[in-house]
Amino acid sequence: MSQSTPAELSWGRHYLMVRPDHFRVQYRINPFMDLDAQPLLDRASEQWRHLLTTLADAGAAVEVVEARSDAPDMVYAMNLGLAFASASGGARVALSHMRYAERRMETVSAGTWFAGAGFAPTYIGADGIGAHFEAGDAFPFGGGLLVGYGPRTEELALKHLASEFDIRVHGLALTSGAMYHLDLAFCPLDGRRALVCPSAFDEPSRRALLDLVPEPILVTEEEALATFCTNSVVVGRTVVMPACPDRVRSELERTGFRVVVVDVSEFHKGGGSVRCLTNPLDVTLGRDLDVVRGGDVVLPLR
């Protein structure tokens, strides 16, 4: 396959979503939240259903979980846990240990669902309290797991992830208060390309990330914050996005992607978008992530 048409992502065709029945802004744990700007629940539910239908139309399977009435942010399913299938059989999930106590009850219900779906649960650190880890900070790319740390995930979690799953973890320091998860600044597209917002990272991490992605499509901080365009989902050559700046759309289409825009603006009031609302269940150890016995953590040179 030529460099201009790299292999599609082998994952991203099976997702977990959580119903938005109890979605609301009940507290403020990110810069987008405003208790005086509540989401319109009927409109949010309609947007959520449209996103689910769009993913299915693109060829993805979607599992749906009921939300807890006391967990208004549980709709952001990406943060519940990091799920892994295995090329040799079996499945596991690293359940998130949320930095903010307001969200920690979500993991209890998520753990029950994952276990029932055949994913053996594990925690990052002793009894789930060794280090904060939120799954919205982690993506496979180039055989390793890219993990953002700083605002939500702690650096200590990188070592636990690497040793627990026998993988190579590339740590990337996030320094933008608004892009507090990696999934707000980075979106893998295929084997060589990803949407990247360089200003979300400190300088060493920025250099390291751009070295890891052979053909990045760069997004400015203004574009990322105004449109949430880096918080997108890829199914084969279809990119499902909340919005897409003309410049970014031109670049995506030039490189063979089809852009489908889905309005999820009610969920932006809680600080998340398309990627935050979906959690991939088909990332596979030994296929999407190379096995490294004992694990390995790579941090940017400073």
pLDDT, tens digit (0-9, with 9 covering 90-100), for 191-239: 999 999 999 999 999 999 999 999 999 999 999 999 999 999 999 999 9
By mean pLDDT, which of 8-22, 77-91, 135-149, 266-280 is the weakest? 77-91
pLDDT of residue 5: 65
* Average pLDDT of span 115-141: 87
Distance CA 264, CA 50 (A): 9
Q: Which of 181, 197, 229, 244 is catalytic?
A: 181
- Would you call 125 exposed, middle or buried from its count of C-beta atoms within 10 A (0-12, 13-18, 19+)? middle
Instruction: For residue 111, give every residue at least 6 positions away whose Cβ sits within 8 Å of its Cβ, in sequence order, or none.
Output: 81, 95, 121
Question: What percent of the chain shows pLDDT beyond 70?
Answer: 97
Report yes or no: 52 and 62 within 8 Å, Cβ to Cβ: yes
For the segment 141-162, what is each residue's pLDDT rounded down to a tens digit?
999 999 999 999 999 999 999 9
Of residues 5 and 28, which shows the higher confidence score?
28
**Catalytic annotation present for 276:** yes
Question: In the chain, where are the structural domains located?
Answer: 14-292
**Catalytic annotation present for 181:** yes
Domain 14-292: CATH architecture, name and number where available: 5-stranded Propeller (3.75)
Q: Which of 197, 229, 244, 276 is catalytic?
A: 276
Q: Is 256 left (phi over 0), alpha (psi -120 to 50) or beta?
A: left
C-alpha pair distances (Å), 268 with each of 31, 39, 53, 75, 278 = 11, 9, 19, 12, 14
